[in-house]
Amino acid sequence: MPAKSSEQKAIEKQMKENQRIERDTARRERASGIVNAAKYIGDFRVMDPDAEKVLEIALEQYNGNDNNFVTVSDDAVPKHLSNSLPLEAEKLLMYGMLSRYMIYAKSVMLTLSNLGKTYFEDKKKAIEGENIKMTENKMPMLLISHATTDKKYAEHLVTLFENIGLDQTQMICSSVPGYGIPLNKRVYEWLANKFTDWDLDLYVIFVLSDRYYSSPASLNEMGAAWVTKKEYTSILLPGFDFSQIRGAISADQIAIKLDSDEEELRQRLNELKDNLTEKFGITKVVDIRWERFRSAFIDAVKGIQVEEENSRVRKNQPSFSVTIEGINKRLPGVSEILNSDFTGGTRYRNLQISIEIVNGKVARNLIVFDKLLTVVLKPGEKCRMAVAYEDSEDVIKWPSKVKKILHSEYEDTKGLPNWFNICYQDEEGHNMVQSLKLQSFDGEAYYDLDGHPWEA
């Protein structure tokens, strides 16, 4: 094969140079298109993922030399980038991450700029700043997430927040009129939109109890708050402990326990008030007024506790059935005595009753008309007694059979007490009283419970 002439060599050299220029030009044009399409976070330009990856690898390999040199080979980058290192270097140069670069066979030598060395830190700051800016531009909204059965607590929370300065445009509470779901709206859809609305900065108050965790709707709200990473405060209702917190919210996050030490409760409520005041940008309530609002809330919570405990105790009480077994009749175990003229007539003036429990509970130390009838009365058992007023001959003739009662203590109707009390101890040891009142239906007299059981 004849040797190439100098003219042929010059032509080939020129052709290779032209090809290199074409490749460089094509690479710059492609790089320019990608760089110009980059997105911004505020004033900060975010590089495309491939360029970020190459820069990340370069920074990992950079040894801190004064010349800012670092060499990246094709075997150090992901496979899909191994054939495009020159393109990535060109992009990094256009992004301002490099001051220059040089291409070798299977690697590039990069000279990092100061911007390149701080890119990822600058990006993080830009994102944080944008998040703050977005939050500042959002309208804050408070959601009180609670079980419907805890409505009373939610109502008092709404009142407390109203006193802080929030109104119906800033609060959602489904149990309180004016703060609930608008008419004709689909409940779950409407609430879901509140969690995903970018114009809202939703703050959630979780009102936690056993009842909350039994409510599918409440758990849906908890899950939505977790998924959308909403800021929240947990309020534990009386009787619900920190160890019982579960699900999407953290048991480690400081919460407010409504039946905690009152000094601690006041302090936690102060912190909540300060947080809401700052978040909603409202005027701070005067301290003396706030103390009054806070005290009213604490008293209301205590009132609910007492009411709930009384209700729980009442539901745990025996249900007594009182049967009138005889009115002015011969007492068991005594003989009939006729009048001397054999004219008959009412010979007895007494009331005979029996008492039994009909709901499966147990009563101890049963006292009726100030007499201890039995130490324990179980379901299916009956206690019987007879009573008579002090002017009845029965109490004189058969004092062991009849309990004497006084007109001054028990107002009567045709010789019958209008009322009497059953005193006893329930299964939990509470000293309880149930009041029975004389009733009449279709000419028949009977005794029925008058009101609720109450503690003695």
> Is the predicted pLDDT of residue 130 greater than 80, yes or no?
no
Task: Write b or e for each residue in 418-449: b if 16 or more Cβ atoms lie within 10 A of its Cβ, otherwise e.
Answer: eebebbbbbeeeeebebebebeeeeeeeebee
The closest alpha carbon to 164, from 287, 288, 277, belongs to 277
The predicted pLDDT at position 7 comes to: 77
The predicted pLDDT at position 6 comes to: 76
Per-residue confidence band for 420, with pLDDT thresholds at 50, 70 and 90 = very high
Residue 151 zone, left/alpha/beta (φ > 0; ψ -120 to 50; rest): alpha
Domains located in the chain, CATH noted: 20-124 (1.10.10), 138-312 (3.40.50.10140), 318-455 (no CATH)
Per-residue confidence band for 437, with pLDDT thresholds at 50, 70 and 90 = very high
The predicted pLDDT at position 42 comes to: 84
Per-residue confidence band for 159, with pLDDT thresholds at 50, 70 and 90 = very high
The predicted pLDDT at position 344 comes to: 47
The predicted pLDDT at position 443 comes to: 86
Choice among 51-60, 262-271, 411-420, 424-433 with the minimum mean pLDDT:
411-420
Look-up: residue for tokens 């100030």? 370
Number of CB atoms found within 10 A of residue 368's CB: 22
> Is the predicted pLDDT of residue 436 greater than 60, yes or no?
yes
> Is the predicted pLDDT of residue 435 greater than 80, yes or no?
yes
Select the more confidently predicted residue: 415 or 306: 306
pTM comes to 0.59
Per-residue confidence band for 1, with pLDDT thresholds at 50, 70 and 90 = low
Whole-number Å distance between alpha carbons of 67 and 48:
26
The predicted pLDDT at position 418 comes to: 94
Select the more confidently predicted residue: 39 or 9: 39
Look-up: residue for tokens 């009442």? 314
Percent of the chain past pLDDT 90, that is, above it, reads: 65
Whole-number Å distance between alpha carbons of 276 and 269:
11
> Is the predicted pLDDT of residue 326 greater than 70, yes or no?
yes
Per-residue confidence band for 151, with pLDDT thresholds at 50, 70 and 90 = very high
On whether the CB atoms of residues 94 and 155 are closer than 8 A, the answer is no
* Residue range 353-376: mean pLDDT, rounded: 96
* Residue range 334-353: mean pLDDT, rounded: 64
The closest alpha carbon to 347, from 334, 360, 358, belongs to 334
Choice among 70-74, 191-195, 328-332, 430-434 with the minimum mean pLDDT:
191-195
Per-residue confidence band for 135, with pLDDT thresholds at 50, 70 and 90 = low
Whole-number Å distance between alpha carbons of 3 and 24:
31
Per-residue confidence band for 343, with pLDDT thresholds at 50, 70 and 90 = very low
Per-residue confidence band for 133, with pLDDT thresholds at 50, 70 and 90 = low
Per-residue confidence band for 342, with pLDDT thresholds at 50, 70 and 90 = very low
Q: Is 407 exposed, middle or buried (0-12, 13-18, 19+ CB in 10 A)?
A: exposed
Select the more confidently predicted residue: 234 or 7: 234
Ranges 56-60, 128-132, 188-192, 334-338, most confident: 56-60
> Is the predicted pLDDT of residue 341 greater than 80, yes or no?
no
The predicted pLDDT at position 134 comes to: 61
Q: What is the mean pLDDT of the chain?
A: 89
> Is the predicted pLDDT of residue 388 greater than 60, yes or no?
yes
